[in-house]
Structure 1
Amino acid sequence: MTTRDRAFRGSTAVVGIANTPFHKRGSATQSSAQLTLEAILAAAADAGIDAHDIDGFSSYANDDNEGLAIGAALGVHEIRWSSMVWGGGGGGVAAAVNAASAAVATGQADMVCVYRGISEADAGRQSYSKGHMGPLLAGHGMFAPAQVCAMRTQRLIEVDGVPASALEALVAAAYHHAQNNPDAVAYGKPLDPEVYADSRMISEPLRLYDCSRENDAAGAVIVTTAERARELRQKPAYVLSAVQGGGPEWTESVENETAYTSAGFHPAMVRRLWEGAGVKPGEVDVVQVYENFSGPAVASLIDLGLVPPGPDAARVMRFENLIAPSGSLPLNTAGGNIAEGFVHGFGLIVEAVRQIRGSSPNQVPDAALSLLLGGPMAPLVSATLFGADSVL
């Protein structure tokens, strides 16, 4: 690696985090803009900063609320940065953090807020996926993300030999973690294996509990320079490495990819992530993986080298191995999209940072490397690796 390749490492940090309560889809009385502003004010208070000092905004998944409008509503002193990550759904969840970090690292802004808000009352359903179901899919009656991800998951099981038990283990870990998180929608609602197995099929092989929730809510995190972060209220979660994009075949998927069962994290992207941080996959302490559906999340873990491919995936994808504090690959430790709540994965950012702070409802002891994965099996995927002071 050259000096330039490592210039990004540790130059920025997340200093403020917040989620609003997760409302049942369509039940929120606030607009998505109101929920977003509530989350931003809470994140600013968490960081111990004046919200008027925020000078940049970054979002993803076709958020209805432009950064300029949000900045005006907050009454900030100046807007120096406003960006939207292209690509439908949760593929941009880490990429939005990466864009904010790039803006801060290059001096384009000093304090950038990453946000995402959804309220069905004004945003409707699936506003993020409009234009992302091409003619090949729509012409055959495929309009739902579950259908596309189900085909790839079925191939993952049938051709690659990844056992279906890997999907179930991921879901079981999410529900287990949610029982210790009072803010999770599934709090107080443990999932029995028999209930999982008997749940209705949504799109084979994905059952009801393999699918993420849909909620009205918002989240916000604040990114600033490493120097400023050390002066603020909270323990910084430094951005060590960040990647986003896709391989040459992915773009708007037409089901002809050679790596059909990949989540979209192609080898060059994965190599950049680990080399940029100067760590290896086995050194990661905890993972927050975007699980619109369980199968694509397992594919992400395989792409990143965290889980072996094929039948050997079962060696790692076991319930007891995926839970905090004792598992070797604890993941989605607040419950994730499946059991905590769904705002296109924004809660995964918040939980990734909480693990570095030591404030997770399911804390991994001495967590110093916390990985966030956005996607997967989407036209765009992204990843951010957060680190504590001890790894700088």
Structure 2
Amino acid sequence: MFIANPNVTHQPYPESLKDVMSVEKANESRQWLSRWSLLNPAGTPLYSLPDLAEELGVEQILVKDESVRSILGSFKALGAPIALVRLILRTFPEQRFAPHDLLEGKHADALAHFTVISATDGNHGRALAAAAQSIGCRCVVVLHANVSVEREQAIAAYGAQIVRITGNYDESVEKAASLAAEHGWMVVSDTSYEGYEVIPRDVMQGYGTLAAEVIEALKEGDGKTPPFTHVFLQGGVGGLAAGVASYLWEWYGEQRPVFVVVEPQQADCLYRSALTGEAAKATGSVDSVMAGLACGETSPLAWRFLQPCVDFFMIIDDAEAVAAMRRLAAGSARDIPLVAGESAVAGLAGLMHLVDSGAPAADIGIDEKSRILFISTEGATAPGLYADLVGETHTCVLSRQKVWSAAN
């Protein structure tokens, strides 16, 4: 199911939005993160999948593989660390900390009693815990009932204190806020709410690195004409989509590609926002195998960027996500096998759904000349679940990937 956004525009990037998030600030964040030891200094690869493109009847499919961004296994490694660094710089201006020194742990003694807290579905909390450990401050992470023990252990491995609640993601966000108020801790969340926008902005700004790397990898001609026609982005609260789309919108201006946002049908908050014209709540159970996208409330800050630039919103079911995971893992003669977690494949699953549906694909302008970009946002961040869903372990897929690469 998809809808066209009635409020979309194809105008130059507005100055009012540039004051909040910009290419310049995103590039500054990228430079600060470049020396964090947990990040791959080379960035992440951008693969073309010609056999999949042929199967789906389009000219090209490009996938950015975030599974190798860092040992953390997801794109969240770009958001939480930069938000934590900027928070510390604002909180202790008199210390004149240098961003690189913070991430290298050179001021751990001074920050030993500084505590940050966040709710998470898994990846954001893991990235925040790792960043806090590198910097030397304390970290508390609130987990809701649907976060697996496997993900909890991955977060705790970076020294975070875990708080469990029985509710859903949105209730964990409320719990984090109440604990912060009670103890004087600082919330470092990737979703905004009333009176809380600065840190989520910094998180989204970090995601601009993804767009910058794509542009650099594909730059040709004047560099201002996009080499792809459509970009499919994951939903969730909207942070990733806003961070990437805003960068590409500012860079390409009126010539920007078509943006399509995809989310689980049980967590359709962005879809509902498009229907109502304002940041809205999901109508489903907010319980999806796509754990990182199982969010019940749209980030109001992210919506400020998504409402004017996302052309289409759509929802998919869990089975479609699993099918996309398996297709990427399988690879083919010309397509490299890829490890893509359950929340990584929403964009591809959305495209596959549209093509299978026939008429809707044409309505979105997808045809044999379309060049599609999507971002595989995570690897097997829950290895046990990945193996259950795909039918083989991620290490098996990586072994086949190695063989494929050697042969190609």
Quickly name the TM-score band, shorter chain normalised: under 0.3
Scaled by the length of structure 1, the TM-score of the pair is 0.26
Q: Which structure features the higher share of helix residues?
A: 2
The alignment's TM-score, normalised by the length of structure 2, stands at 0.25
RCO higher in 1 or 2 (8 Å CA, sep ≥ 6)? 1
